Amino acid sequence: MAGYRKLSRTSAQRKALLRNQVTNLLANGKIVTTEAKAKEVRKIAEHLIAMAVREKDNFETVKVTAKVARKDADGKRVKEVKDGKKVTVYDEVEKEIKKDMPSRLHARRQMMKVFYPVKSVPTENAGKKKNTKNVDLVDKMFTEIAPKYANRNGGYTRIVKIGLRKGDAAMEVLLELV
């Protein structure tokens, strides 16, 4: 018996479909799909959440001095003339950053192999490209989702049957994070 469902697709199509559905499940919290697809997506999603829970506190904070461009009231860089050229003015700033330990970095890269890039659009700009922001789904996994499931041993998703789909009578389900 095979270890996974083929879903009547080639391997590249199947991988793309599952990546897309896992990305949408973890970005939005729930998706509606067929039962067979949901069971495959659940395997991948639970594995990623378990990885995030295991590695959520595996980092150290480090103080770093960084050069940051000085900005004016409009948010544009301040420039001054030196030797007849316009040069941007930089300030040195102390920052605290999170430095991943090697196992957390590996987990981060494993997650990045699965997730597609996600953009969030503010409600007032629906349908426009302006002011869209890239969502760091891996960071969301470590900061929001992992702490939520820290004291839970598996079972991070739930499948609820909705009913038969009108077109082909396939069983539709709601796959959601618990």
Flag whether pLDDT at 21 surpasses 90. yes
Q: Are residues 49 and 136 in the same domain?
A: yes
Query: 3-state class of 38 per DSSP?
Result: helix
Global pTM reads 0.84
The 3-state DSSP class for residue 57 equals coil
In this structure, the answer to whether residues 107 and 166 fall within a common structural domain is: yes
What pLDDT was estimated at residue 83? Answer: 87
pLDDT tens per residue, range 57-114: 999 999 999 999 999 888 889 999 988 899 999 999 999 999 999 999 999 999 999 9
- The full 3-state SS of 81-147, as one line of letters, equals EECCEEEECEEEEEEEEEEECHHHHHHHHHHHHHCCCEEECCHHHCCCCCCCEEECHHHHHHHHHHH
CA-to-CA separations, 34 to 14, 78, 109, 171, 173, in angstroms, rounded: 14, 55, 29, 6, 6
32 with 105, same domain?
Answer: yes
Euclidean distance between CA atoms 97 and 119, whole angstroms: 24
CB 157 within 8 A of CB 40: no
Do the Cβ atoms of 46 and 159 come closer than 8 Å? no
> Whole-number mean pLDDT of the chain?
93
Residues 42 and 106 in one domain: yes
Cα distance between residue 127 and residue 117, in whole Å: 18
Could you tell me if residue 2 is inside a domain?
A: no
**Contact criterion met (CB below 8 Å) for 56 and 97:** no
% of residues, the chain, pLDDT over 70:
99
Distance, in Å, from the CA atom of 124 to the CA atom of 41, rounded to the nearest integer, reads 32
State the pLDDT at residue 49: 97
Among 100, 125, 159, identify where a domain stops: 100
* pLDDT for the residue numbered 123: 77
Work out the pLDDT band at 121, boundaries 50, 70, 90.
confident
Domain that holds residue 110: 11-58+101-177
Token pair 């330990």 is found at: 101
Please tell me the predicted confidence (pLDDT) of residue 1: 57
Predicted local distance difference test score (pLDDT) of residue 131: 77
Exposed e or buried b per residue across 38-50, where buried means at least 16 C-beta atoms within 10 angstroms of its C-beta: bebbbebbeebbb
pLDDT above 90 (res 122) = no
Overall domain count for the chain: 2
